[in-house]
Amino acid sequence: MNPIKIEGTEDTPAVCLDKTIGVFEVSGRSLPEDAAGFYAPILKWLENYAADPNPKTEFTIKLEYFNTASSKLLLDLLTRLEKISNAKILWYSYEDDEDMQEAGQEFSELVEVPFELKNF
């Protein structure tokens, strides 16, 4: 299974999905012009990964900001993790960023995956 490695930009998050080394992370800012197009290969990769996952999958989200279009696709991404046994979500936010903490809390209530809210 080929890894996905996307360099982050001002408008798109950095993404590393690498089954071999066990790294699953989205970080930075997510406000791509075409959110569906940006997230499509990530969602497809997760679908394929779910068929043969690692014994343990810790998916890390370290977003500083995301727009409304990204919000829906992030929920799609987190929902894909429900199909992966032993998956866990680590949601990072800055200690003083109440919006991102609240977003993490809301996502944690929408998906059936263990969710850990952490600070940078």
pLDDT digits 0-9 by tens, 34-82: 999 999 999 999 999 999 999 999 999 999 999 999 999 999 999 999 9
Q: H/E element holding 38?
A: helix 35-51
**What pLDDT does 70 receive?**
98
For the chain, how many structural domains are there in total? 1
Per-residue pLDDT, averaged over 14-30, amounts to: 98
Domain at 87, CATH number = 3.30.750
Longest Cα separation, the chain? 38
Within 10 angstroms of residue 45's Cβ, the number of other Cβ atoms is 19
Whose CA is closest to 80, among 107, 119, 118, 116?
107
Question: Does pTM top 0.85 for this prediction?
Answer: yes
**What pLDDT does 11 receive?**
97
Q: Is 88 exposed, middle or buried (0-12, 13-18, 19+ CB in 10 A)?
A: middle
Domain of 115 in residue numbering reads as 4-119
Q: What is the rounded CA–CA span in Å between residue 13 and residue 27?
A: 5
Q: H/E element holding 107?
A: helix 98-110
What is the average pLDDT score of the chain? 97
Whose CA is closest to 110, among 84, 68, 81, 86?
81
**What pLDDT does 63 receive?**
97
Per-residue pLDDT, averaged over 22-42, amounts to: 98
Per-residue pLDDT, averaged over 99-106, amounts to: 97
